[in-house]
Amino acid sequence: MSAVEPPPGAGPAFDATVFRRVIGNFMTGVVVITTVDDGAPCGMTVSAVSSLSLEPPMLLVCLSAASATQEAVLRSGRFAVNILAEHQGHIAERFARAGSEDKFADLATRTGRTGVPLLADVLATVECRIAEVVGGGTHRVFLAEAVHAEATEGSPLAYFRGEFGKFELGLDAEVYRRLRRSILDRRFGADEPLQVEQLAAQLSVSPSSVYYALTRLVGDKLVSRDPQRGHVVTPLDVATSDDVLDARLAIELGAAELVGDRLSAEQLRELRELAAATGSHVRDGRFGDVEGFIDASHAFHRFLVDATGVRSLVDAYERLSLPDLLARALPGVTDPDPRLITDHVDLVEALERADLPAVRRVLTAHNERAKAVQRAGIERRGGQL
């Protein structure tokens, strides 16, 4: 049998640079492969993972043959696939870096059933044992049997054109925005059940889009999961509002301790501009633009937390969903306390002096005023939103 002739006009080997650029247009999910090697945890970020079989359940994972984690997986014979959630791009970046740094430092982990480390708060995990290893160019392809899997609700982190980001379909995002606005506008009552099929019919969308929206709204603390009734509108009362604002205060006091006198002149200038921006939305003792004030206030308060550089602290602050908390109560406030604005300026001045006791006093007093304003808005609208 004669050899197959190349097609007419066939040129030299395909340009790897062109291939990399073209394949970059393929969006993939992002996972961190973890294993243990001689008692030490190992891990790396990977996007080349796919389901191989359901009977038996198997995965296919491609790892660079030059990586230390690949060698550790090969020696260990077991590994875990940690599927990252949309807000965990910083974890993907950490485990994608080459070098000898401890990539697990400051990260919450637990030991899986196979003895390998599992990352906490990820979207899902699959623990595997290697069944077969195949060479493929610069990589090794691991065919592995899944021995245990767990998943939570949420949206995945995606990888596209060399960047990590959120995977979000336009229609799903629009359904989320519409339902979120309906809750903030009180078109649903407090503790009212939200039926997926009914909402899908009303919005003329698929139930999957509604379920996606409700899952995100659970993360926003606007919706809760009731064991008997399913998704319900999370009631907002004075006690809940006070609790969230006290949590914000605790985080900000901790951030102030960490930052100390380390804010640069540029950072202080930016913080002063943010303080001025909050005041621009209050005119003649009234909110001129409630949404604008909420956005400006959130940016101001988050600045100090961001300045710590501690990602876990920032994540904890974001999980409070403060803009949504304020958006539900402030529209009922007719006369906001003007000291909410002057407190911001006082805080900047205390930070400029590196006067930590004064920073604590301003933050604590501001928190009591914020709770009083929220309380007034909630009580004016019936005591529960």
pLDDT at residue 168, rounded to an integer: 55
Cα separation, 357 vs 197, in Å, equals 54
pLDDT at residue 18, rounded to an integer: 56
> Is 327 part of a structural domain of the chain?
yes
**200 lies in the same domain as 277:** no
pLDDT at residue 327, rounded to an integer: 78
Question: Would you mind telling me the total number of residues written for the chain in this entry?
Answer: 385
Residue 81 pLDDT greater than 90, yes or no: yes
**29 lies in the same domain as 157:** yes
Cα separation, 316 vs 248, in Å, equals 9
Cα separation, 240 vs 364, in Å, equals 18
Return the CATH number at 88: 2.30.110.10
pLDDT at residue 82, rounded to an integer: 93
Cα separation, 338 vs 342, in Å, equals 7
Percent of the chain predicted with pLDDT > 90: 25
Q: Is 9 helix (H, G, I), strand (E, B) or coil?
A: coil
Mean pLDDT, the chain, whole residue set: 83
**283 lies in the same domain as 336:** yes
Residue 313's alpha-carbon distances to 106, 204, 299, 309, 354, in angstroms, are: 11, 40, 15, 8, 21
Sign of CA dihedral 52, 54, 56, 57: positive
**What are 74-77's contacts with CB under 8 Å, separation 24+?**
74/130, 74/133, 74/140, 75/37, 76/35, 76/36, 76/37, 76/116, 77/129, 77/130
Count Cβ neighbours within 10 Å for each residue of 256-287 and write b for 16 or more, e otherwise: beebeeebeeebeebbbebbebbbebbeeeeb
**335 lies in the same domain as 208:** no
Query: Could you read off the pLDDT of 151-203 as tens digits, one per residue?
Result: 887 778 876 655 555 555 567 788 888 888 888 777 888 888 998 888 988 88
Cα separation, 347 vs 6, in Å, equals 74
Among the three residues 163, 194, 216, which one is the final residue of a domain in this structure?
163
Return the CATH number at 339: 1.20.120.530
Query: Could you read off the pLDDT of 97-135 as tens digits, one per residue?
Result: 877 678 898 889 999 999 999 999 898 899 999 999 998
Residue 189's alpha-carbon distances to 28, 102, 275, in angstroms, are: 39, 49, 34
How many domains is the chain partitioned into structurally?
Answer: 3
Find the domain containing 78 and state its range. Answer: 20-163
Query: Could you read off the pLDDT of 225-264 as tens digits, one per residue?
Result: 888 888 998 888 888 888 888 999 999 999 999 988 888 8
Among the three residues 111, 146, 163, which one is the final residue of a domain in this structure?
163
Residue 23 pLDDT greater than 60, yes or no: no
Task: Give the number of other Cβ atoms within 10 Å of residue 380's Cβ.
Answer: 13
